[in-house]
Structure 1
Amino acid sequence: MLEAARAEFGENGYDGATVRAIAARAGVDAAMVNHWFGGKEQLFAKAVLDVPFDVDEVVGAVTARGAEHVGDSIVRTFLDRWDGVGGERFTALIRSVTTRPEAMRVLRTVLVNRIFAGVASALEVDRGDLRASLCATQLIGLGMARYVAELEPVHSADIDTLAAAVAPTLQRYLTGDIDAP
């Protein structure tokens, strides 16, 4: 049921997904959604808003190789985690962010306030809030290109290629001079 919900929310966003379509995709009666999850909103929360990784573990993984490798570690960790779950949760989250305030809250809370603010804090950099937000813009854009728009060749590129291209920007956002022209 959760896989069917992620796929349906990913393809159609929250507003376009229906309980009937999710149930049909899962091969169950629509009444089972209400029985197991209490309705569409609770199913959305369980299928999409529960991030598929431990936030503290991600911050640790990203900073483990030291400040000089943090940009590369961010790209590799992000793609590894989201590719590992097929990108469907990220797609569903992004497609729902404009109509579901809780989706925006999760994106902001997890990506900006917990992961990137945690990385900036661990690195003890100045203007951590700005640096965290800048990193989020880069990864949200990368995720949208790879999982939502399926923009080629980003969609099918291997992680090494994307890390080489995107990591320098993230590195500058976190450890470089962000006031330089």
Structure 2
Amino acid sequence: MTSGNGHRSGRRPGHSGTREAILDAARVRFAQVGFDRASIRSIATAASVDPALVHHYFGTKQQLFTAALEFPVDPDVILTQIAAVPLEQLGETIVRAVLTVWDSPAGVQAVAAFRTLIGSGDPALVRTFLLDVVLKDVRTRVDSPPGSGDKRAVLAASQLAGLLVTRKIIQIEPIASMSIAELAVSVGPTVQRYLTGDLPISY
């Protein structure tokens, strides 16, 4: 759709390459500067489209990020569960919420998306997803003493990444066949210690 002076404006729902151009630009921008610093406007500029068109195709920035990752599950499914529990229950809740997604019908696609991203040799999007989306609010909640939140979140992310690899990618037993409840009880306390326990963290 064009305005009277020939400039592009509004929505172009029939343009077959527009959605792909936005996704390509989003992947590059998110990898370069992370989720928080990548604005819809900067992504639209890189894709040579109006910012309104990005919202038309993808809605919010978080929905765009999910689509850029080809992640089949809305991160809010995990974030809502994590936000609802008190600090002392974060570890088990995070493990249970993440495992529930991985073991769901959409989990096969989710694991495949992460495997592709890791195998591409550019893990920036995976880091952004874990630290800037899933664990972003957690970092603030566990920032005690002040300045330790980022390192605590990274330690927790390392545990979750290791659990993903052992359970879903190389499928080491008995972790591969343990129930979600059993793993949450077994691994949750370790994640909890990273988040709220006494650690020799320098910052």
Question: Shorter-chain TM-score category?
Answer: 0.5 to 0.7
**Could you give the per-residue CA deviations for residues 101-127 of structure 1, whole angstroms, max 9, x where no partner exists?**
2xx122101112222232121345341
Deviation at 1:100, TM superposition (A): 4.1
The answer as to 2:153 corresponding to 1:110 is: no
Match of residue 86 from structure 2: 66
Match of residue 132 from structure 1: 153
Match of residue 182 from structure 2: 161
- Tell me the percent identity: 34
TM-score by length of 2: 0.59
CA distance in 2, matches of 1:118, 1:164: 23
Aligned length: 141
CA distance in 2, matches of 1:162, 1:77: 11
CA distance in 2, matches of 1:64, 1:179: 29
Match of residue 166 from structure 2: 145
Deviation at 1:93, TM superposition (A): 1.4
The answer as to 2:86 corresponding to 1:54 is: no
Relative contact order: is structure 1 or structure 2 higher (C-alpha 8 Å, sep ≥ 6)?
1
Q: Which has the higher helix share?
A: 1
Q: Is the 8 A contact 1:63 1:73 kept in 2?
A: no
CA distance in 1, matches of 2:79, 2:67: 23
CA distance in 2, matches of 1:123, 1:170: 12
Report SS of the residue matched to 1:89: helix
CA distance in 2, matches of 1:147, 1:64: 27
The answer as to 2:136 corresponding to 1:121 is: no
Q: CA RMSD in A?
A: 2.9
CA distance in 2, matches of 1:115, 1:125: 19
Distance 1:161 1:48, change over 3 A: farther
The structure whose Rg is larger is: 2
CA distance in 1, matches of 2:143, 2:86: 12
**Structure 2: runs of 5+ lacking an equivalent:** 1-15, 28-65
CA distance in 2, matches of 1:124, 1:154: 30
Deviation at 1:96, TM superposition (A): 3.9
CA distance in 1, matches of 2:87, 2:170: 32
TM-score by length of 1: 0.66
CA distance in 2, matches of 1:178, 1:94: 31
